[in-house]
Each structure stands twice: as structure tokens, then as C-alpha cells.
Amino acid sequence: MDHDKCRIVKGKKLDAQIVLPHWFDDCLKLGKKINEGPYVLPNPDVFDHTQNGMQPRPRHVPDIHGATCSVAGLPPKLLPDHPTSSPSPLRKELTVLKGSKVLFSKDLNISQHLARTLEHLVEQSGGSLTQDVAECDIYVGQYRDGVDYIRASQDGKTVANLAWFYNVVTQNRWTNPLNKLLHYPVPRTVDREAPGDRPEVTHRMLVSGDDRWLSNTKKEEKDKRTLRSLGIELTQDPSKCTLLCAPRLLRTRKFVVALAHAPAVVHTKYLDYALRHESLHGEEEFPLEDRETEERLGIRLRDSLQRAEVNRGKLLRGWTIFVTGHVNGGFETYEEIIKANGGVATLYRGRTGLSIPKRRTSPSQDPEAGLESQNQGGDEETNYVYLVTGLEDDDVKLWDTFRTMVEKQGMQARIVKTDWLLNLAMSQKVEWDPKWELKEELMPGWREKKRR
């Protein structure tokens, strides 16, 4: 209570309680705000004040069962037998970090006390800690600098701050930290003398389906400078996209691949406003709404983005998908879509001796499966091997060979239109509809061609 900050609070007679840090830790551990009374200084009830210093008080303390026994040191055998507050339902079933390795940066200056609490939360959420940035899936830091921050960013790791960590653990729901600036590390210094010159990039924007810069390099360069001054850098790489801008729902390569990275999605009116006013308006003010295309494709963009946040680019983890050489749009297009969703694309030319990679363990039995498993179509999908194909004769004649090869290896073949993969990538879930399956007898004139 003799600390300067405590004196300031008492001197200003603020309506505020001064509590042990254990209160904050226990709120996190239980997943809810608990009664601060037992933690209030100078004489917190969770401790017994004796000649030998503060010792755990062996008596019933309301609302902290499941917390102080491991934080304040209360021995389990002294816990009361009668009912007390327990962790919230969300906290009892934490899975949001399942299978993830988390690195807490040294620039957070975390005390040993808080470090223990964070480790507990990570493990309770199904994750584990690491100090190796190359090994981590999630980097949590305070500042946008340092070797580890740069490496994590360049390697496409999830980069976030503690506010994001607390949010996803509390809600037990994955979100993309790039969608909220307050969930991302901050610049270590800000040049307050030049408010129009942003020190760091807030978003990497990918624009699809807009031709405003077509054959107008001068305007493009001018607009790029304006956007960069606002903290937005244009990119053509969907894997680096954190803000996707389009006039409508599209099935272009860039749009479909970008969705796997759960970007914020806005209408091109957002870009119009930024360039016209040289300032940014809230993304929520310019949502991309295209009900007509959603109805036609059978998807909901909002639902797709929520699933993308859960899937974290792993929707096709463990899948090998075969693609023919004459498929509309080219093999490379579908290879990029498959890779963006965590799968492996293999060009199929009709070889009969191919050894099909062992499919992943069924999601319900896979110890490494994360939350993406709920969108992978169920255990029955492990029996199928897919061939995404074009409709030209050179592709059609491969179908029977593919089918035979798959069946010899104890699995079932599904020969499908490109629509199957595009729907999967845009909806961010695996589902089956017979309308996507292709068979030779459905191809006009195929029987006659085969006889020749």
C-alpha cells in the first residue's frame, strides 16, 4: 500500500479498490469476474496475517473455488466441502488453442506470477508453450519490432498482443487479430509531429474485381501513396491479405484464396471513400453485401469468414487432392486454393502406379485435430479421394484409370467438377452434394468416342 500508485489512488479518493494481482489471475482462470472482496488490500481475506507473514487462510472464501488453491497457495485439503462458484461453462470446455504452440515475447515483460497463469490458460485451452519462433503457431508480443516479431510475420504465423489472447480465451472463439487494430502489437514509437505519416502498415489490402487502375499507372501510384499514408499497403498476394476489397462476391483466384486467411471484407465503396477523403472510415460502414450471389452459390459470407477464423488455413489439413491438367483455370489456380486451406495438390496425368498418401486419421480420433475438424465433413470423408477435373476428352479418359487406382488401394474415388472445390473454399467447410459428381455416361457423345 506504500507504492506511489497506491498513494495516488488514495490521495485522489477514487472510487476504486486496490486488490492483489491474484484477483485478475483468478478471473482469467475461472473465465468470469469474481468477487474482489477477498483480495482487497491491505488485509485480503485470502491470506491470514500472522507473525510469520501472510499465509493461506484455511476457511471458506466465496467465489474463488478452483482459483486460489493454485495461485494464492491454499492447500487442496483445506478447501471447503460445500458448494462454491465454479468456472464458467466456456472455461470448462476450452478448446480454442487446441494443437497450437504459443510464444509469449520477452517484450511483454511478464512477471513469473503472470507467466504461470498464462501457461495454465494455454494448456487449459489445448495448447502448449514454446520459446522457438520457428516452432510456434502464435506469437504474442507488445511491439512491432524485434527478430522474433519479424520472423513470425514473414512466416505467416498468427501475430497478436495480450488483449487478443485474453479475448479468445475468454470467449473460447478464434478471431483474426488483424481484424482489430487493438489486438495487434503496437509501434514502439509514434512520430506525433507527422500525424499523416503512419509508422506502420495497419492492413495489407487486396482489391479484386475492380479496374480503376487498368492502363493508368500514374493514378495507381498516386493512390498507392495516399493509401500507404493511411496505413494501407496494396498487395497482390492473397496470403498476405488482411483486408479484402471487392464490388461483389467473386470466384476469382485472389478472392477465393484470400478467404482462407479470414480477412476483413469490404465493398469497393470503402476504397472510394479513403481515396476521396484521404482518411479511413470504419470497415463496418462498408460491408460487402451480395445476397443474390450468396443465394445462387448457397453460402453466407459472414458464416464463411467465421469458419475461416476457426479453420486458420487448416480446413484441408491431411488431404491430398488430385487435379487434372486441362481443368478450367489451370492446375496452378486450384493448387493455390488447396494449399491456402492446408491441403496438398497433385497433378494427375493418368499414372496407374501412384501410391496415394495415407489419409488423415478421422477427425474424431485425431489427437492433432483442432477446431477445423468440425468443418471437415465428418469421419466418412476419410474414405474418399477426390479428382478435380476438366470436361475435355483428355481429362475424361483419365477418370476410369483414377477410379481403378483408388479402389485398388481400399478407398473410394469421387470425380468432381471444379465447383466442389470452389464451394468448399468459399464456404470454408467440406460438404457433399451429388450435383458435383462427374460420370462418363453423363458426358455427351462419350460412348461413341470411346468405341472409336
Q: What is the mean pLDDT of residues 351-379?
A: 80
| CATH topology match: 94-183 vs 313-451 | yes
Q: What is the CATH number of domain 313-451?
A: 3.40.50.10190
Q: How would residue 30 be classed by pLDDT, with cut points 50, 70 and 90?
A: confident
Question: Contact 139/152 with Cβ under 8 angstroms?
Answer: yes
- Measured from the Cβ of residue 135, the count of other Cβ atoms closer than 10 Å reads 10
Contact present, 137 and 157 (Cβ < 8 Å)? yes
Is the per-residue pLDDT at 4 higher than 80? no
107 DSSP 8-state letter? G
CB 26 within 8 A of CB 85: no
Compute the distance between CA of residue 370 and CA of residue 270 in angstroms, rounded to an integer: 34
* Burial category of 149 from C-beta neighbours within 10 Å (exposed 0-12, middle 13-18, buried 19 and up): buried
Write the CB contacts of 297 (distance below 8 Å, at least 6 apart in sequence). 249, 251, 423, 426
Instruction: From the options 3.40.50.10190, 3.20.20.70, 3.90.600.10, 3.40.50.2300, give the CATH code of 94-183.
Output: 3.40.50.10190
What is the pLDDT, as a whole number, of residue 403? 96
Question: With helix as H, strand as E and coil as C, how does 255-306 read?
Answer: HHHHHCCCCEEEEHHHHHHHHHHCCCCCHHHCECCCHHHHHHHCCCHHHHHH
Q: Which residue has the cell 443474390?
A: 292
Q: Residue 13: exposed, middle, or buried by beta-carbon count in 10 A (0-12, 13-18, 19+)?
A: exposed
Question: Between residues 409 and 70, which one has the greater pLDDT?
Answer: 409
Count CA within 13 A, CB hemisphere, residue 416.
25
The string of pLDDT tens digits covering residues 198-229 is: 477 678 899 999 999 999 999 999 999 999 98
Residue 241, phi-psi category: left (phi > 0), alpha (psi -120 to 50), beta (remainder): beta
Instruction: Give CA–CA dist 318/430, Å, rounded.
Output: 13
Summarised one tens digit per residue, pLDDT across range 137-171 is 999 999 988 899 989 988 888 999 999 999 999 88
SS3 168: helix
User: To which residue does cell 511478464 refer?
Assistant: 110
What is the C-alpha radius of gyration for the chain, rounded to an integer number of angstroms?
Answer: 27
Q: What is the Cα 356 distance to its own chain's centre?
A: 29
Burial class of residue 217 (count of CB atoms within 10 Å of its CB; 0-12, 13-18, 19+) = exposed
Q: What is the pLDDT of residue 122?
A: 94
What is this structure's pTM?
A: 0.70
pLDDT score recorded for residue 19: 86
Q: What's the confidence (pLDDT) of residue 357? A: 80
Q: Provide the 10 A C-beta neighbour count for residue 326.
A: 15
- The ranges assigned to domains in the chain are 17-88, 94-183, 203-289, 313-451
Note if the bond before 42 is cis, omega within 30 degrees.
Answer: yes
- pLDDT tens digit sequence for 376-398: 998 889 899 999 999 999 999 99
Q: Backbone phi, then psi, for 27, in 5-degree steps?
A: -60, -45
CA 452 to chain centre: 53
Give the span between the Cα atoms of 290 and 301, in whole angstroms: 9
Backbone angles phi, psi at 41, to 5 degrees: -80, 155
Residue 451 predicted with pLDDT over 70: no
Confidence of residue 86 (pLDDT cuts 50, 70, 90): low
The answer for 415, left when phi > 0, alpha when psi is -120 to 50, beta otherwise, is beta
No. of helices (H) and no. of strands (E), the chain: 17, 14
Q: Which pLDDT value is given to residue 58?
A: 44
- Mean pLDDT value of segment 404-411: 94
pLDDT exceeds cutoff 50 at 323? yes
Mean pLDDT across the chain, nearest whole number?
84
pLDDT of residue 170: 86
Q: Best-predicted range by mean pLDDT among 31-40, 314-323, 350-359?
A: 314-323
**Residues 332-346: what's their mean pLDDT?**
97
Percent of the chain predicted with pLDDT > 70: 83
- Is 203-289 in CATH node 3.40.50.10190? yes
Average confidence (pLDDT) over 331-354: 95
pLDDT of 39: 85
143 CB neighbour count, 10 Å cutoff: 15
Please, which contacts does 77-83 make with residues 24 or more away whose CB atoms are closer than 8 Å? none
* pLDDT above 70 for 83: no
